Amino acid sequence: MSIVGLHHPGTSLLHRTPAGVKLVAIALAIVALTLWIRQPWQVLPCAVVVAGMYAFARIPVRLAVTQLRPLLWMLGIIAVFQVIVAGWERAVVICGALFLAIALALLVTLTTRMTDMLDAIVAGVRPLRRLGVDPDRVGLVLVMTIRCIPLLGSMVARVTEARKARGLGFSLRALVVPVVVGALMTAEAMGEALAARGVDD
The tens digit of pLDDT for each residue in 141-162 reads 776 766 666 667 677 777 777 7
Distance, CA of 5 to CA of 17 (rounded, Å): 17
For the cut 80, the answer to whether the pLDDT of residue 136 exceeds it is no
Please give the model's pTM, rounded to 2 decimal places: 0.66
Residue 164 CB burial class (10 angstroms; 0-12, 13-18, ≥19): exposed
Which of residues 174 and 161 earns the better pLDDT score?
161
CA 122 remoteness from chain centre: 20
The tens digit of pLDDT for each residue in 63-73 reads 888 878 777 77
Distance, CA of 121 to CA of 115 (rounded, Å): 10
Question: Going by C-beta distance under 8 Å and a sequence separation of 6 or more, which residues neighbour residue 197?
Answer: none
Q: Please tell me the predicted confidence (pLDDT) of residue 168.
A: 66
Give the containing element (helix H, strand E) for 69: none
Q: Please tell me the predicted confidence (pLDDT) of residue 1.
A: 39
Q: How confident is the model at residue 6 (pLDDT cuts 50, 70, 90)?
A: low
Helix/strand/coil (H, E, C) string of 90-154?
HHHHHHHHHHHHHHHHHHHHHCCCHHHHHHHHHHHHHHHHHHCCCHHHHHHHHHHHHHHHHHHHH
3-12, 35-44, 103-112: lowest mean pLDDT where? 3-12
For the cut 70, the answer to whether the pLDDT of residue 196 exceeds it is no
Q: Please tell me the predicted confidence (pLDDT) of residue 48.
A: 92
Distance, CA of 31 to CA of 51 (rounded, Å): 18
The tens digit of pLDDT for each residue in 52-92 reads 989 888 888 888 888 787 777 778 888 888 888 888 888 88
What mean pLDDT value characterizes the chain?
78
